[in-house]
Amino acid sequence: MSRIVRQLGLFFASALFVGALVATAQAKDRVKVGFIGPLTGGVSVNGLGGRNSADLAVRLRNADAKAKYEYELVVLDDECKPNVAVQVATKMAADKEIVAAATHYCSATAIATVDIYHKFGFPIIVWGAVLPDITYRTKYAEVHRVNGTMIDQNDANAELISKLGFKTVAVIHDTTDYGKGHNAYFSKSFARLGGKIVGTFGVTSDQQDFTAELTQIKALNPEVIYFGGLTPIGVRVRSQMDKLGIKAVFDGTSGIVSDAFIQGLGPLAEGALAFREGAPTEKLPGGKFFLENYAAQKYDSPPEAYGAFSYAAMDLILDSIEKVGPDRKKVIEELANVKDRDSIIGKVTFDDHGQNTVALITKYVVQDGKFVEWDDSEYATGKRKLPGQK
């Protein structure tokens, strides 16, 4: 009996040993990657959509049996405030366990942090901020961006306004780098096309009352009010235009392409213009795949306009780590070699400044409570008219 017990004991011990070896062989090293965006504050819907989209990329990679590593997403909130962004960027970049990150929706936060990422040798891919200086002011190997810049966006904007026959524009912009950049690029493009800027008004990002600026603008009687800023201010400006009886076209930037803009204004959002780089999400090469998988996760907020870019940024980071390992320097070198890389947003190529060139700019108009592509809208066909449109 004792001999049988001993044999059984040896058998189970051997089985446990083999099981442990198999488990060890199957276990994957855990690698941390990061996400930074505005999770609280006035543009938090965009940050939450970006976070969920980056999370989706991580979840799908972890579900892939062929993936070499198990990934953990570290998420920090920059609140769309430069001073907060500097703090969280420093915290993330200083954590050597975090290999790389998808960062920033707001241009003011992105431009405030590029020096930090360079200092720590921390590779990042910007997923939503559009200020050209983020990639072009310096030539940091650590800094990349999958979305386009405001230059092409404003060229397309000025071209449409001119094509529609509008000649006079008043500009309201926030006084962050984001707003000042939009003002500069739009004003330059519109003037080149023969248009006239009748007045320019800078406002703070937390300003509530625009009566003074709008009263002056009303006296100038522009056909269009160009707004260079984000959704919270845009909602306030547009609603106060209505109270003062200003009938000009409200012409915005990518900063208002958000469900929150329409929800905040209701019927007053009708006819507002906006421009964003890239195709609408559903028309992107991987748009159907992205939206279906996003819906399957049952996130409590939509991906918003830049969700697909956040997914693409994180997916590129994961691809790089899979190829070269969880080493910051090697990931930076790998990202520098990204040329014609397939992604859900289309081909990605980083130039020598880490900038992906997104040639396509989509023109939007709010029609019946939705951002609709201009070319598909009843405004483009002439069935509906913008205020003052001939």
Q: Is a pLDDT exceeding 70 seen at residue 169?
A: yes
CATH number assigned to the domain covering 151-277+363-381: 3.40.50.2300
The pLDDT value recorded for residue 8 is 44
The CB density around residue 162, as the number of other CB atoms within 10 Å, is 17
Q: Is a pLDDT exceeding 60 seen at residue 326?
A: yes
Q: For the segment 243-258, what is each residue's pLDDT rounded down to a tens digit?
A: 999 999 999 999 999 9
Q: For the segment 62-95, what is each residue's pLDDT rounded down to a tens digit?
A: 999 999 999 999 999 999 999 999 999 999 999 9
User: Domain-by-domain residue ranges, the chain?
Assistant: 29-148+281-359, 151-277+363-381
The pLDDT value recorded for residue 226 is 98
Domain with residues 29-148+281-359, CATH architecture: 3-Layer(aba) Sandwich (3.40)
Would the pTM of this model clear 0.95, i.e. be above it?
no
Q: Do domains 29-148+281-359 and 151-277+363-381 have the same CATH topology?
A: yes
The pLDDT value recorded for residue 7 is 52
Q: Is a pLDDT exceeding 70 seen at residue 20?
A: no
Give me 334's structure tokens. Answer: 């790998």
Q: In whole numbers, what is the pLDDT of the chain averaged over residues?
A: 93
